[in-house]
Structure 1
């Protein structure tokens, strides 16, 4: 990934004066942090992403192996179990009930236009998800289609893509991202994606509108990933948190279609896809019926409630054990799914996210073996079902084992770069909070600088496990490896990042490589260790910026910190 000097300068100007004035003395200090063993990091990533772990899918034998391995590693590192209570003792896990749904057999999908029916192949023109509304069978017969722009209803922005039409019982076709993506200006934060641009929101809104289904038009740039990622992420087993009324947030049919297929669909109905896309970027847009086109689907689903597990390690504080600093990472990946061109069906998830899980274990080891025990407790949370919509972190943050009001902050790690060190670092999204200020000051001790998210339009802030904590007010960031490597600079980092996104992300090719040095991760963990250690040995309660949308939720829990 790349970022321009101008954007870096802009990011620097956004840093609060507290960094320059309050935290500046720390910049002169020499880095004092334990070293992290690159061979151990490599070995853990190798084991976790081996075929024996079957892609670490939730509710599979791969989950069982993962729990056994990670909890054993945490115990050997010197941590204590920090999960659910049983018989007066803590377990290594927190039970996470999830709705599990899987299409059984091959779904029958078709589009009829002008009286001619066209069979659609799952994973090619279309990727339909297993139903998450609790249904065991989906039957949709000749249902009309409506183009609903970006599928957004945002009263605070005076925006409604559904105005003027009752879309109940219809199949909606919508665009990915939000209306500002193409132009970079408008009512939705410019180039940076808002939550309205996320596919999770679009599915939820379709259900609220009473639609029979939603098909999102995939385009690589606004989605920030290719069709292979869509196919692999949506045609396998699906999960959701257990809801009182799942139909309220999930329409009967949810899926994606290829852009070329959408263009052809519109053309046959006498519509211009690009022209309608432009119209959808304006407040005046109204939904458009795709005349003469109907959609049909018929398939069975195996739907049941299962129990997955978050893995939780704990190091109890010496003076303030009821105050908590948290490190987090997700252990899951996509399990066993559709074969790639080589016939490989195991989605090993080496970078995503065996790297973060290994980092979590090694941070635990460093704290457990420190000469001085931290004053505050430290939680090491390895969550499930991130790949299914941040479900493990959503469950923990809705039913926390340790009070969110007394959680100092969350430092999340996801898909770290296993190569050499970079001159910089980034975080997912562009949130303004004191936790980032502290990270900037800490990283400067290693001559590292902060680069803003180079692709704010990708909506990374909403795609990592810190988000469920953030929306409940807990200061939370997701650390990202830098994009300016000491060896090779921006060019080397960008080339690898683009290759990884294109050829490996959510694909079986995300496998461990013996050539990875892990020296960059080892250095980055020194920075993250120091950040957490400083927080754990202080009385500080970092907050969000005064104008942050998460500030009010944090302030509402202020009494818990008195």
Structure 2
């Protein structure tokens, strides 16, 4: 998530949500979340002793053991591998070897060498220690394909065995969530058409949002991907041998032989026109060397079996990621531990309390409930993605996913946001559950962020499972609190920083309300005669 835009969205949305009328609370179940239990869970998971719970670290292993201990104490059945609570995942961590990256453009008249870090960026290969590709370059607009939105940036060009060059971003007229999904599929579109490399062109419009030099600051961080049972990296598209991100200030030689200039392409983008694909008439050579090592980290899974003889074979899955970003390398700070209290010790704490409520309610739901804490969310939703590819229960029997990621429990909230609620009948379940506690279900206050595609429910969505991502809304109950400002301040001052720790003014009573709503959502889904379904007009109802 980009902090600046999220903060702005929070502040701007406050005025829109502050006048929301609160529904009168109705009677609800006697079982309830417990503030002291939430505090105990959060303070342990976000303690300095766990050193930020980075994927593959000792601190995250301790967090996983803590979650398992709680599942055992509740009498939940193990739902990991080989009769355990653990689903152990192997990851490959790839790093770019210093000084190995090169990018050269052959125009037929001269060879132009670009400077890594200043004119182009690239990342390590998850497959090979040595990577090299030379091929002609074809411009493919945004690099998108969608029959529904009338997009085919590969129309009338052959990219088999070639390097494709595309501009960053997506057309402005695409809906945000659908556009974000298509944007995340660019590598797949290229690989399916035989491309051997991708060059992404950093545009002047992108420069205004995120300068090229800012992207360069984060370029040397290792990349991580999970490995399948054959030891192959997932979705790294082996056929794509090379990739680079090039600053438009250095890209002119790529258009030296083209019928359309780079400036003409940018002019089309400014007018919100769709650039057509065309041959560039030059070739590019991309080289780099990568270093690999393997790490291991677990998902933790447990099941509360359902009571109905038929429906117990279907599952409602709760997810919350247990990892965070570990230790900061910023030596200017005295505190180097990114504790991750709100991100996502709070979500895991709510998950654990939700599990206790189901066990102690005395009313076993009809469908089974699967509680899943996932690893490597901060590395790219990898733990959830692995589970979606290798589920420990039949995928077709998972009826819904309710995701808990970073409930900001710093104020007495009057509304909740459920990203994805407009795409399936789950929106009705959330509204009903929240209403029992006098809490409104608000619309997404920052649709431009496409958050529905940016947390652990998304891998389930891509497998066809209806999902919602529940978050505290921007409206506070009291006149002395401004929920949107508090939420925005958290992102500005504490998000992914050492100050996201238990010493924040955490409102555990608000956490109880959030937990109770979360429990009621799952209870409603688990006991409903019909399983949740995608709405007919939802783009996500029939993903490829």
For the pair 1:82 / 2:78, whether they are aligned, the reply is yes
In structure 2, the residue matched to 1:468 is 459
1:549: Cα distance to partner?
A: 4.3
In structure 1, the residue matched to 2:3 is none
1:366: Cα distance to partner?
A: 1.9
1:205: Cα distance to partner?
A: 2.8
For the pair 1:447 / 2:438, whether they are aligned, the reply is yes
Aligned-residue Cα RMSD (Å) equals 4.2
Alpha-carbon distance in structure 2 between the residues aligned to 1:494 and 1:220: 27
Which of residues 350, 366, 370 is equivalent to 2:357? Answer: 366
Where do 1:352-431 residues align within 5 Å?
A: 352-429=343-420, 431=422
1:312: Cα distance to partner?
A: 0.8
Which of residues 28, 32, 46 is equivalent to 2:29? Answer: 32
Q: Does the CA contact (< 8 Å) of 1:222 and 1:457 recur in 2?
A: no
**Could you say if the C-alpha distance between residues 267 and 414 of structure 1 is closer, same or farther in structure 2, counting changes exceeding 3 Å?**
farther
Alpha-carbon distance in structure 2 between the residues aligned to 1:525 and 1:442: 11
Q: Deviations over 1:137-180 (max 9, x none)?
A: 23468x7876643221234433233446555443635312x202
Alpha-carbon distance in structure 2 between the residues aligned to 1:518 and 1:230: 40
Alpha-carbon distance in structure 2 between the residues aligned to 1:511 and 1:288: 53
For the pair 1:546 / 2:536, whether they are aligned, the reply is yes
How many residues were matched structurally?
Answer: 515
Query: What SS does the aligned partner of 2:314 have?
Result: strand
In structure 2, the residue matched to 1:312 is 301
Q: Does the CA contact (< 8 Å) of 1:331 and 1:357 recur in 2?
A: yes
Which of residues 198, 207, 224 is equivalent to 1:238? Answer: 224
Single out whichever of 262-271 and 518-527 deviates more from structure 2: 262-271
**Could you say if the C-alpha distance between residues 293 and 535 of structure 1 is closer, same or farther in structure 2, counting changes exceeding 3 Å?**
closer
**Could you say if the C-alpha distance between residues 57 and 400 of structure 1 is closer, same or farther in structure 2, counting changes exceeding 3 Å?**
same
**Could you say if the C-alpha distance between residues 145 and 551 of structure 1 is closer, same or farther in structure 2, counting changes exceeding 3 Å?**
closer
**Could you say if the C-alpha distance between residues 236 and 508 of structure 1 is closer, same or farther in structure 2, counting changes exceeding 3 Å?**
farther
In structure 2, the residue matched to 1:437 is 428
- Ranges in structure 1 where 5+ consecutive residues have no aligned partner: 13-25, 554-562
1:217: Cα distance to partner?
A: 3.6
Q: Does the CA contact (< 8 Å) of 2:141 and 2:275 recur in 1?
A: no
For the pair 1:158 / 2:150, whether they are aligned, the reply is yes
**Could you say if the C-alpha distance between residues 263 and 239 of structure 1 is closer, same or farther in structure 2, counting changes exceeding 3 Å?**
same
Single out whichever of 444-453 and 384-393 deviates more from structure 2: 384-393
**Could you say if the C-alpha distance between residues 551 and 508 of structure 1 is closer, same or farther in structure 2, counting changes exceeding 3 Å?**
same
Where do 1:180-219 residues align within 5 Å?
A: 180=172, 185=173, 188-189=174-175, 191-198=176-183, 200-209=184-193, 210-215=195-200, 217=202
**Could you say if the C-alpha distance between residues 444 and 327 of structure 1 is closer, same or farther in structure 2, counting changes exceeding 3 Å?**
same
In structure 2, the residue matched to 1:137 is 130
Q: Does the CA contact (< 8 Å) of 2:411 and 2:486 recur in 1?
A: no
Q: Does the CA contact (< 8 Å) of 1:234 and 1:255 recur in 2?
A: no
Q: Does the CA contact (< 8 Å) of 1:393 and 1:465 recur in 2?
A: yes
Query: What SS does the aligned partner of 1:526 have?
Result: helix
In structure 2, the residue matched to 1:301 is 291
In structure 2, the residue matched to 1:329 is 320
Alpha-carbon distance in structure 2 between the residues aligned to 1:500 and 1:293: 47
1:414: Cα distance to partner?
A: 0.7
For the pair 1:61 / 2:76, whether they are aligned, the reply is no
Query: What SS does the aligned partner of 2:276 have?
Result: coil
In structure 2, the residue matched to 1:18 is none
Single out whichever of 243-252 and 226-235 deviates more from structure 2: 226-235
1:196: Cα distance to partner?
A: 4.6
**Could you say if the C-alpha distance between residues 161 and 473 of structure 1 is closer, same or farther in structure 2, counting changes exceeding 3 Å?**
closer
For the pair 1:524 / 2:518, whether they are aligned, the reply is no
In structure 1, the residue matched to 2:4 is none
Q: Does the CA contact (< 8 Å) of 1:33 and 1:526 recur in 2?
A: no
Q: Deviations over 1:354-395 (max 9, x none)?
A: 221111111112222223333432211111222333232223
**Could you say if the C-alpha distance between residues 418 and 378 of structure 1 is closer, same or farther in structure 2, counting changes exceeding 3 Å?**
same
Alpha-carbon distance in structure 2 between the residues aligned to 1:140 and 1:336: 36
Alpha-carbon distance in structure 2 between the residues aligned to 1:227 and 1:361: 42
Which of residues 482, 485, 492 is equivalent to 2:476? Answer: 485
1:338: Cα distance to partner?
A: 4.9
Q: Does the CA contact (< 8 Å) of 1:208 and 1:249 recur in 2?
A: no
Q: Does the CA contact (< 8 Å) of 1:472 and 1:550 recur in 2?
A: no
Query: What SS does the aligned partner of 1:95 have?
Result: strand
